[in-house]
Amino acid sequence: MANLVAMLRLPGNLKSTQWQILAGPILILLILSMMVLPLPAFILDLLFTFNIALSIMVLLVAMFTQRTLEFAAFPTILLFTTLLRLALNVASTRIILMEGHTGAAAAGKVVEAFGHFTVGGNFAIGIVVFVILVIINFMVITKGAGRIAEVGARFVLDGMPGKQMAIDADLNAGLIAEDEAKNAVPK
């Protein structure tokens, strides 16, 4: 029994390197659970506040970094903060759609305060701000998808000369026939 209790004390048993290895998958599972499970409004408020503070910290560190290698983890941090923001958007949209009929504070105080600050109590301003945000998000997503497609195409094109040379070498060595070489070329 004592061995079982000792084994269940994870922080004492796991080394710091093991915690570092587990940190990524644990964060991803937490973010995915935020998207699937309904969150109470006060937890959503805490997570929005944490997200805002984290965004400000990342911005300040990125602005005041002297050398690029000082903030080498920036792409990873940016990915996780983007996933956190996406999960918060899904969770807040769910709570607004499920509990919005109960009042303005149903989605939490942070969402309510941001809504009052942005819209200012005017329905027309809210529609204009919503349209502007939709257009900006559409442009960002479109540019991002285009960039991802460019990078993917570049990787494919960079690999093609090597594939062609390998096919030519196999053909010259007699390992494959001419028909096989023609069919092996990607179309």
pLDDT digits (tens, 9 = 90+) for 12-53: 555 666 777 888 788 888 888 888 888 898 999 999 999 999
In this prediction, residue 8 carries a pLDDT of 45
Q: Are 37 and 29 in contact (CB under 8 A)?
A: no
Residues 27 and 101 in one domain: yes
Q: Which domain holds residue 183?
A: 122-187
The reply to whether 89 and 36 lie within a common domain is yes
Give exposure, 2-24, as e/b (b: 16+ Cβ within 10 Å): eeeeeeeeeeeeeeeeeeeeeee
Crossing angle between the packed helical segments 109-119 and 123-173, to the nearest 10 degrees: 110
Query: How many angstroms separate the CA atoms of 169 and 173, rounded?
Result: 6
Residue pair 87/35 in contact (Cβ under 8 Å)? The answer is yes
User: Tell me, what's the pLDDT at 5?
Assistant: 46
The answer to the question of residue 72 being in a domain is yes
**Nearest-angstrom CA–CA distance, 98 and 70:** 44
7, part of any domain: no
User: What is the reported pLDDT for 112?
Assistant: 86
121, 136, 171 - which closes a domain? 121
CA distance 167 to 152: 22
Is 30 inside a domain boundary? yes
With pLDDT > 70 as the criterion, what percentage of the chain qualifies? 88
How many distinct structural domains can be found in the chain?
Answer: 2
Of 3-7, 28-32, 87-91, 111-115, the range with the lowest mean pLDDT is: 3-7
Q: Is residue 2 part of a domain?
A: no
Residue 146 has pLDDT above 80, yes or no: no
The reply to whether 116 and 44 lie within a common domain is yes
Residue 6: inside a domain: no
| Same domain, residue pair 169 and 128 | yes
